[in-house]
Amino acid sequence: MQNQQIAALFEELADLLEIQGANAFRVRAYRNAARTLENLSESAEAIIASTDRSLTDLEGIGKDLATKIEAIVKTGTLQQLDELRTQIPIGVSEMLRIPGLGPKKVAALFHELGVTTLADLKVACESGRVAELKGFGKKTAQTILEGIQHVEEAGQRVLISIASASAEEIVSDLRQLASVTQVSIAGSCRRRKETCGDLDVLAISSNSAEVMDRLAAHPLVEKVLARGETKQRVRLRSRIEMDLRVVAAESYGAAMQYFTGSKEHNIVIRRRAQERGLKVNEYGVYRGEDYVAGRTEEEVYAAVDLPWIPPELRENRGEIELAENGKLPELIEVADIQGDLHMHTTATDGAATILEMAEAAKARGLKYIAITDHSKRVSMANGLDATRLRQHWHDIEQARGKISGIEILRGIECDILEDATMDLDDEVLSEADWVIAVLHYGLKQPREQIMQRLLNAISNPHVDVIGHPSGRLIGSRPAADIDYSTFLKAAADHGVMLEINASPTRLDLDDIQAAAAKALGIQIVIDTDSHSTNGFESLVYGVGQARRAGLTRNDVANSRPWSEFQKLLHRR
């Protein structure tokens, strides 16, 4: 069981307990445990197996929770949760997907009206029974009806590349309006999360109706779902939904901070405000009824005695403590990247030649690249055997003489085979300038086999970096079962770099493991895995992932100038 899977079970358990009316402290304990596990770089399973560590060493994990985690790891489920699932119909849990409908209201609908499905709930709203329920009313019933439709029509979470491209295009269009003085993206998209469930855009405008009309008419918008005086919700053609809020200038910074999130980060900010006799919300910072700050985010953070915190770090993973102590990292920027060390050409499954890729990289300001076509195991991509690879490297050497201002390394993306051997012999790998070792096949193997494959590659003296380590494809292919504590320690011990693959479908390493790698002093490379000259555009997503991990220029090997990066080559 991965930590995220255990966390999801605890979140479900907390929801069902709250619907049952369980003790609030008990519910909160499960939610806190879920968050602890989600942010844990080491697997719970590894801790259980360890002789010198215990689950109870983790913050918020006592003996009872530790016992439950062990049960989940051993059996894949939890008896208490299974029992609750039999007591609470699945349709009741589905009601939690309705915006604004939390466990307490769902509990009332279930216990007092006997509603057990979304269809039942729709009938209860239309018949007036929900409106008559204490704490609801006609407006709430109507909101629930709209929410049911939302659940039925809402699209799936979309990749950050799709979400941000749509949001940026719309923001750029709204910025052209004379009535708009400021407009920005907020929410999880601004925090550069891997996927987004919806989008948030904030604007300052002297004519909110004009802004909403412009959004409603935008070619990316499929349907207007709701509209008020200062807020509009639309569904984009990509199926993601977007909220536009027009706010006052004095509230813009406060609204940006509030709607950027994350929820966990904002809880801490509000608590700090309360400790100082203040109140923070989307309208500003107040002392009693008196407005104190809110025009800029910097004002909001300053009011609670903190410097401005980059959005990518706002997940309550230690950024508050870093900010308090003046130790916030100076995060890596796209402009810091000097080289790209993972790309493909027409020699295998790429769309451009060696020279075309080099020219495109140079045009983007890169100073060095590695051409890393596939090894022979990837037969569907026309992977290279030893003979073809050596000829390919000869072609790279020829290309070097035809372009100046950029260095081209002779590389290979070499598969780590299912039997834990490398797809090419050491004799061949020793001739390469740059070797990426990857898992492409056998990702469903048991952990022991996956780890043997990774550890063998790490200990190979010719391997420079492990590429997209988990092998996942976001939303379509699960990650290999990796013991990250062992994996990362081995990489650190052997001086092997790890990749953040910038392809939006991969973003692998993820932010949690990249942060853990940084803590161990492991050098990260951010690569695009480009298969065409347009592929270099994905670099921004890899850098976003690195920023979420708290990485600086010093943590990223390919942020170094060529003269310095050369010293890292074959240093083992």
193-235 per-position pLDDT tens digit: 999 999 999 999 999 999 999 999 998 898 999 999 999 999 9
How many CB atoms are located within 10 Å of the residue 90 CB? 9
Taking the C-alpha atoms of residue 349 and residue 363, their distance in angstroms, rounded to an integer, is 22
Which segments within 381-530 are labelled E, that is strand? Answer: 407-415, 434-438, 465-466, 497-501, 524-527
- Mean pLDDT check: name the lowest of 57-61, 408-412, 463-467: 57-61
- Mean pLDDT check: name the lowest of 70-74, 178-182, 255-259, 334-338: 70-74
What residues does CATH 3.20.20.140 cover in the chain? 334-568
> What pLDDT band is residue 279 in, cutting at 50, 70 and 90?
very high
Q: Which pLDDT score is estimated for 115?
A: 92
Q: Which pLDDT score is estimated for 150?
A: 66
Q: What is the pLDDT of residues 241-278, one digit of tens each?
A: 999 999 999 999 999 999 999 999 999 999 999 999 99
CATH number of 3-153, picked from 1.10.150.110, 1.10.10.410, 3.30.1300.10, 1.10.300.10 = 1.10.150.110
Which segments within 190-331 are labelled E, that is strand? Answer: 195-196, 198-205, 221-227, 231-236, 241-246, 279-281, 284-287, 290-293
**Does pLDDT of 189 surpass 80?**
yes
Domain spanning 334-568, CATH architecture: Alpha-Beta Barrel (3.20)
Taking the C-alpha atoms of residue 66 and residue 10, their distance in angstroms, rounded to an integer, is 12
Taking the C-alpha atoms of residue 292 and residue 357, their distance in angstroms, rounded to an integer, is 53
Helix (H) or strand (E) holding 526: strand 524-527
CB 432 within 8 Å of CB 410: yes
Residue the block writes with tokens 């604004």: 100
Backbone angles phi, psi at 465, to 5 degrees: -150, 145
Comparing 305 with 88, which gets the higher pLDDT? 305
> What pLDDT band is residue 156 in, cutting at 50, 70 and 90?
low
Arithmetic mean of pLDDT, 363-376: 97
- The mean predicted confidence, pLDDT, of the chain is 94
**Does pLDDT of 493 surpass 80?**
yes
**Does pLDDT of 548 surpass 60?**
yes
Taking the C-alpha atoms of residue 502 and residue 112, their distance in angstroms, rounded to an integer, is 50
Taking the C-alpha atoms of residue 572 and residue 568, their distance in angstroms, rounded to an integer, is 9
Q: What is the pLDDT of residues 110-125, one digit of tens each?
A: 999 999 998 999 999 9
CATH of domain 251-324: 3.30.210.10
**Does pLDDT of 572 surpass 70?**
no
CATH number of 158-246, picked from 3.40.50.1370, 3.20.20.140, 3.40.50.150, 3.30.460.10 = 3.30.460.10
Arithmetic mean of pLDDT, 187-196: 96
- The one-letter code for the residue type at 247 is V
What residues does CATH 3.30.460.10 cover in the chain? 158-246
Arithmetic mean of pLDDT, 136-157: 79
Taking the C-alpha atoms of residue 51 and residue 48, their distance in angstroms, rounded to an integer, is 8
Q: Which pLDDT score is estimated for 570?
A: 67
What residues does CATH 3.30.210.10 cover in the chain? 251-324
What residues does CATH 1.10.150.110 cover in the chain? 3-153
Helix (H) or strand (E) holding 355: helix 354-363
- Which tokens go with 566? 């050369």
Q: Which pLDDT score is estimated for 169?
A: 92
Q: Which pLDDT score is estimated for 346?
A: 95
CA-atom Rg of the chain in angstroms: 26
**Does pLDDT of 342 surpass 80?**
yes
